[in-house]
Amino acid sequence: MTIWQRLSRLRVNSIKSFVSLFLVGVSLSVAIAACSSGGPSNSTTGSPGAQNKQNVEVTLVSFAVTKAAHEAIIPKFVEKWKQEHNQNVTFQTSYGGSGSQTRAVIDGLEADIVHLALALDTQKIEKAGLIQPGWEQEVPNNAIVSKSVAALVTREGNPKAIKDWSDLGKDGIKLITADPKTSGIARWNFLALWNSAIKTGGDEAKALDFVTKVYKNVPILTRDAREATDAFFKQGQGDALINYENEIILAQQKGEKVSYVIPDVNISIDNPIAVVDKNVDRHGNREVAEAFVKFLYTPEAQQEFAKVGFRPVNQTVAQTKEFADKYPKVKTLGTVKDYGGWGEIQKKFFEDGAVFDQIQAKK
């Protein structure tokens, strides 16, 4: 059964559900289909397992900037699985904003695997009853399979001499960033700013004062990271843009000239992977889905992540000369755990009436 057939059978109970499913559904594409001498793929719905099927379908839902990596990794896994199990695996993929992908899965998009921008989104799917608690412990590295750091993008030649986070709070600087109330990357951006104040010796009062100054220099808050990038590059707004390091590297690989700085004080932008338990059990493809997730941690897969801008989580890959030179070590790297985890961060900074809303009220 195809994703479109599944989506068509969903009973959508709200306009929000319909819109999120439609927007993500239109981006669905077949990422890779293993060649088969047999007939069409069998439906996996209601199947007790995939081990006896000749054809198995797996649905991967991920945030947008992982597309290049997954398109390189999936064929390698398909070939490996065919050799070892004599079984054809077809992947259906969907790429989009992490928040919208999360809502779509909760609303009924039958993802077997989710690779999202932040653990908070995966936790929302868990709370919806689709992922069993403890998913972080099922694979290495607390389920973090890709990571990056924050980059400060400037105009060519860096005419405003922006070198680190402190420069973003100066008079006359215009910063472009997305709204952390609607964008996952914008939450990372906010946390990077807060972290920069704390890790350089400031207390929470100084951090609040600094971040407030920075957001006074933000002329617009875009809905998501893509709109922020367009506002900076296509519309010429702002003197600086906060973005993922991996986005900048990928843009350079596509021939774009980008001027940027990786601050010595930074935040580890960690992206988790998880099997969607309720869906794989319904589809009968848990064995293949779990094998793919584990494959993503192998040196072979991590090299593909590293080639397109993600910092490897596999230390063997990270320490090779190619990638050690490409990704210089950040002097002071903060983590989500330093601030109590995403549950505490969301409550403290981004809930209605929390720190970010208080900052906006002062503008």
Render each residue's pLDDT in the chain as its tens digit; 363 residues: 444 444 344 443 444 444 444 444 444 444 433 333 333 333 333 344 555 678 999 999 998 889 999 999 999 999 999 999 999 999 999 998 888 899 999 999 999 999 999 999 999 999 999 999 999 999 999 999 999 999 999 999 999 999 999 999 999 999 999 899 888 888 999 999 999 999 999 999 999 999 999 999 999 999 877 788 889 999 999 999 998 899 888 888 888 889 999 999 999 999 999 999 999 999 999 999 999 999 999 999 999 999 999 999 999 999 999 999 899 899 999 999 999 999 999 999 999 999 999 999 987
Report pLDDT for 52.
Answer: 61
CA 102, CA 291: separation in Å to the nearest integer? 22
Report pLDDT for 253.
Answer: 86
Structure tokens at 113: 């695997």
Contacts of 275 (CB under 8 A, 6+ apart): 112, 113, 131, 135, 138, 286, 289, 290, 293
Q: Is the distance from CB of 149 to CB of 268 less than 8 angstroms?
A: yes
Report pLDDT for 141.
Answer: 94
Structure tokens at 136: 């972080």
Helix axes 98-107, 184-199, angle to 10 degrees: 130
Residue of 191, 28, 175, 1 whose CA lies nearest to 94: 28
Report pLDDT for 252.
Answer: 87
Structure tokens at 362: 């002062």
Half-sphere exposure of 200 (CA within 13 A, CB side): 17
Amino acid letter, residue 224:
D
Task: Tell me how many degrees the CA angle 181-185-188 measures, rounded to the nearest 5.
Answer: 90
Structure tokens at 92: 């259906």
In the DSSP assignment, the letter for residue 311 is B
Structure tokens at 340: 């109590």
Neighbours of 208 (CB within 10 A): 16
Terminal CA-CA length for the chain: 52
pTM for the structure as a whole: 0.81
Report pLDDT for 20.
Answer: 46
Report pLDDT for 51.
Answer: 55
Residue where the block lists tokens 């290495």: 140
Amino acid letter, residue 171:
D
